[in-house]
Amino acid sequence: MCFSLLIKQIPLSLTPLHPCFFSMQNIEVRPVKDKQELDDMFHQRWLVLRSPLGMDKGTEKDKHEDSAFHLVAVCDHKVVGSARLRLLSKELGSIAYLAVLPEFRHQGIGTKLMEKLIEIAHEKNLNTLRLMSRVHAVNFYKRLGFCEVGEPFYYLDVSHIFMQCKLQQSQKNAKD
């Protein structure tokens, strides 16, 4: 039987052509390694967070990129997920731009990116992490130890809410 006929008989979700073929074992979560990968990461961020809002290339960046810490999830040399940590003071960190390509979601990549940033925040002795969550992602962040702060508001015409996580507290909860 020829290969193409064989492939047609296998459900798409089990073929190497489908993103779900890549398990977390194939995904590397690590800091951005060079300028090319940084550019790839901005493109991936734009694809997930700005293009669907009809916004131009370049709008995915802000003035804090050079001083921030960038984490990527890479699958087969492709940036499929990313997130940023920035220090606002010695004790306070801000997480932003968490984004996973649609075809790679629900496999734990977003969680892994967040867990890694929380681990780094602990290493830096931060005691609080803040972020601005899209309202649809609130439960995702709650599971990671974040709580809502204040009332929802609109940013870029998308409903958001501030959330924060007290790190000592989340560490204690993890031990309980």
Ligand X SMILES: CC(C)(COP(=O)(O)OP(=O)(O)OC[C@H]1O[C@@H](n2cnc3c(N)ncnc32)[C@H](O)[C@@H]1OP(=O)(O)O)[C@@H](O)C(=O)NCCC(=O)NCCS
Residues found near ligand X in the complex (CB under 6 A): 48-49, 98-100, 105-111, 133-134, 137, 139-140
- Which CB sits closer to ligand X, 49 or 118? 49
Residue 85 and residue 124 in contact, taking contact as beta carbons nearer than 8 Å: no
* Nearest distance, CB of residue 116 and ligand X, angstroms: 12
Using DSSP's 3-state secondary structure scheme, residue 111 falls into helix
Select from 129, 139, 132, 138 the least CA-distant residue to 153. 132
- Which CB sits closer to ligand X, 140 or 162? 140
* Nearest distance, CB of residue 9 and ligand X, angstroms: 25
Name the residue type at position 107.
Q
CA pair distance 99, 24, nearest whole angstrom: 16
- Which CB sits closer to ligand X, 7 or 147? 147
* Nearest distance, CB of residue 13 and ligand X, angstroms: 12
Q: Which residues have C-beta within 8 Å of that of residue 74, sequence separation ≥ 6?
A: 27, 28, 29, 30, 37, 80
Q: In the complex, which residue's CB is closest to ligand X? A: 110
* Nearest distance, CB of residue 163 and ligand X, angstroms: 9
- Which CB sits closer to ligand X, 109 or 117? 109
